Amino acid sequence: MRLKVTSWNVNSVRLRLDSLKRFIAEHQPDVLCLQETKVPDEHFPRAEIEAMGLPHSVVHGMKSYNGVAIFSTRPFEASTSRSWCGKQDCRHIAVRTDGIEVHNLYVPAGGDVPDPKVNPKFKHKLRFLKETTAWFAAEAPRDRPMILVGDLNIAPLENDVWSHKQLLKVVSHTPVEVELLGRLQATLGWVDAIRHFVPETEKLYSWWSYRNRDWAKSDRGRRLDHVWVTPVLARGLREHHVARAARDWMPATDHVPVTATLEI
């Protein structure tokens, strides 16, 4: 059985319905995980997306901020969500389908100043990473078939950013964030599904700032969006795709869809 899993920070699901329709038609994901949906559940355009060929869904959102959702061609055996840092801010949702547990995670961006003493947003980000790491380490056995996707808001490798040297003090690529993301990845020996196909020596991005007038020409990107699988699933990895062209779809969003395909 083939399983194609996509992660996409859509930055308002209601604004991106046309883009979602286009992406689903062109790429036909089996599981579509969305972040930053920015809509409470009662106003989520669930029926519209289900009609695009993904009839099973679970959503967890709030007004104007954050929000996560999972759509699937296959029914869910179970679904759940968790909160960390004492905040009910809709940053996690998980489902089980065909015996595989899929976690959709939206890590806090962390603001602009990489100092938790003066920037509460960065402090929240670091605490969030620590708490999620502790949870996965305590609750999930390594031999469980699991997929973790999402906008993790960290570009961990040197070639996950356009300039390693210039971004070392920029939130999303600072050493403390990279170290904490590494601890999270180590909890279950998560395999980076996209870097499984793309060598670490090659540049790879999934996000380009709105501030760049010509994002493609400047190509100052970062790889903030990830798909990880537990070791038991890693041998089934078959393909990957970063939908770079979607950065130009209107209305534009700064993230593009990232997809991994597995043979289960």
Domain that holds residue 203: 2-263
Whether 141 has a pLDDT exceeding 80, the answer reads no
Where residue 193 sits, what CATH number does that domain have? 3.60.10.10
pLDDT more than 70, % of the chain? 100
Angle between helices 120-139 and 175-186 (to 10 degrees): 20
Evaluate whether 241 touches 225 at the Cβ level (below 8 Å): no
Q: What is the mean pLDDT of residues 27-39?
A: 98
Spatial distance between the Cα atoms of 248 and 76, rounded to a whole number of angstroms: 33
> What are the backbone dihedrals phi and psi of residue 49, each rounded to the nearest 5 degrees, phi first?
-75, -40
For 101-251, where are the alpha helices, taking DSSP H only? Answer: 120-139, 164-167, 175-186, 215-218, 231-234
Helical (H) or strand (E) element with 138: helix 120-139
**Number of domains, the chain:** 1
Average pLDDT over residues 35-45: 98
Task: Label residue 213 by pLDDT band (50, 70, 90).
Answer: confident
